[in-house]
Amino acid sequence: MISNGFLGYDRFVWFQGVVEDRMDPQKLGRLRVRILGYHTEDKTKIPTKDLPWAFPIMPISSASMNGIGEAPVGCVEGTWVIGFFRDGENCQEPVVFGTIGGIPQEKARSNIGFSDPFAHYPEETYLKEPDTNRLARAEKIEKTIIEERKKNLANKGNPIQVALEDISEDGGPRDMEDDTEWLEPKPPYKAKYPFNKVFQTEGGIVKEWDDTKDNRRIHEYHPCGTFYEVFEEKISLTKSKAHKITKINGTNYTIVLDDDNIFVEGSVNITTRGRVNIYAGNDINVEANSKLTIHAKKDTSIFCNENITIDAAKDIVMKAGGDITLNSDNIRMSSVRNFSVDTEIGSITLTSNTTMGLTSLLGMNIASTTAGAKLYSMTETIVGSNLQTIVDGLYTTIQSDLKTSVGSKIDTTVTAGTELNLNSTTSLINLSAPLRINSESPNVTRKMPKTQPIGKIIFDK
């Protein structure tokens, strides 16, 4: 009982004790504490279940109301605590406000009091060393998460390639001096006691706030291997940089319900062993102030439900080790100046199932220097120009199953180095010009079937 009606007027009775139970049925963070000098260690006389519940005192930064602030948990069975009785000398209402560390010398004996009833704490691997976290002490680091991180570097510690690793700007191999690979940094731990503030849960979750001079760090680690770390790099006497490592041993989800803006002063490298999928409900814009390169070691496909436009201020070069196939209902190719189709070894074949027309406002040259040049249509083949049309080559064929026309509004020239053959199997061969027709050859041969009359060459003038 409080004799004077006010706790502050009564004798302050404080104590030390050991937590033997933290499973508070009311989940208020209360602890069953065996109090040194007040309770016996003989559990047959005072079993753990008969110890009073001690309320925890929270810091002023915690509201202890409606879940606001820190949860009043953290002590484990075997933790030494310090507190007082808020009912004074009656000693029935204990309150704890702190924990006390030490250097454990032996494993807990669960059959006696003042120890962990489950004989788990202290763990055997931590006997005869301070209860202060090893990361804070900067001791036995090889037995901490730092060593685990060293063993599990990305890509087994080998370099990670970047896009276009083997291709330079001119298409050749890259120089080794270029940014062709990167490595996951090794743990930058260089803490010194007492500057590293460490928080660790019994499940192995670790947080560090390291104030070691010139090596300040923020580190948060999950025992599955996911972590982030911000660490300092001294670049001059007065300047430092803070780098960040983020590693996720699992799947990462980033969800932004509004705009997302990313600015990078240097380069961006994205490397994945799986697929990369990019989807946009609206436009996707890609812009480069310098060169834009897309490289695939296998097939490359571009699909579009509407139009595809390729616009270059200078040249457009299409090169293939095999065939280039253009397939469309209509194919139109136009040029303000010259239009050339060349082949070094094979032939050039233009084929149409209906009408084929080759038209030029100025001159048109159809030539082959080695093999033949062939224009063929199943119905009608037309070669024409407003000025001059020239058909020249070693073996040049202009052929149609119905009608073949070669013409120009000024001059039309059909030239052959050896033979020039004009053949028609059904109707006449018409050579027509407003002024004159020039036919020059060492030998002229005219052959017609016997059943048909010999055709005429008609001159207007």
The confidence band for 459, taking pLDDT boundaries of 50, 70 and 90, is very low
What does the domain layout of the chain look like in residue ranges?
Answer: 7-126, 132-296, 348-416
Give pLDDT, residue 461: 41
Mean pLDDT, the chain, rounded, equals 84
Residue 355 near residue 377 (C-beta atoms within 8 A): yes
Distance CA 176, CA 55 (A): 65
Say which CATH topology domain 132-296 has: Nuclear Transport Factor 2; Chain: A, (3.10.450)
Could you tell me which residue, 356 or 252, shows the higher pLDDT?
Answer: 252
Give pLDDT, residue 347: 72
Residue 377 near residue 400 (C-beta atoms within 8 A): yes
Question: How many angstroms from the chain centroid is the CA of residue 177?
Answer: 23
| pLDDT surpassing 60 at residue 104 | yes
Give pLDDT, residue 243: 96
309 HSE (CA, 13 A, CB side): 2
Question: How many angstroms from the chain centroid is the CA of residue 19?
Answer: 49
> pLDDT tens digits for 244-281?
999 999 999 999 999 999 999 988 989 999 999 999 99
**Cβ contacts of residue 328 below 8 Å, gap of 6+?**
none
What is the three-state SS of the chain? CCCCCCHHHCCCEEEEEEEEECCCCCCCCCEEEEEECCECCCCCCCCHHHCCEEEECCCCCCCCECCECCCCCCCCCCCEEEEEECCHHHCCCEEEEEEECCCCCCCCCCCCCCCCCCCCCCCHHHCCCCCCCHHHHCCCHHHCHHHHHHHCCHHHHCCEECCCCCCCCCCCCCCCCCCCEECCCCCCCCCCCCCEEEEECCCCCEEEEECCCCCCEEEEECCCCCEEEEEEEECCCCCEEEEEEEECCCCCCCCCCCCCCCCCCCCCCCCCCCCCCCCCCCCCCCCCCCCCCCCCCCCCCCCCCCCCCCCCCCCCCCCCCCCCCCCCCCCCCCCCCCCCCCCCCCCEEEEECCEEEEEECCEEEEEEEEEEEEEEECCEEEEEECCEEEEEEEEEEEEECCEEEEEECCEEEEEECCCCCCCCCCCCCCCCCCCCCCCCCCCCCCCCCCCCCCCCCCCCC
Distance CA 351, CA 372 (A): 15
Q: Which CATH architecture has domain 7-126?
A: Beta Barrel (2.40)
Average pLDDT in the 223-247 region? 95
> pLDDT tens digits for 128-139?
999 999 999 999
| pLDDT surpassing 90 at residue 378 | no
Q: What percent of the chain has pLDDT over 90?
A: 54
Do the first three CATH levels of 7-126 and 132-296 match, i.e. the same topology?
no
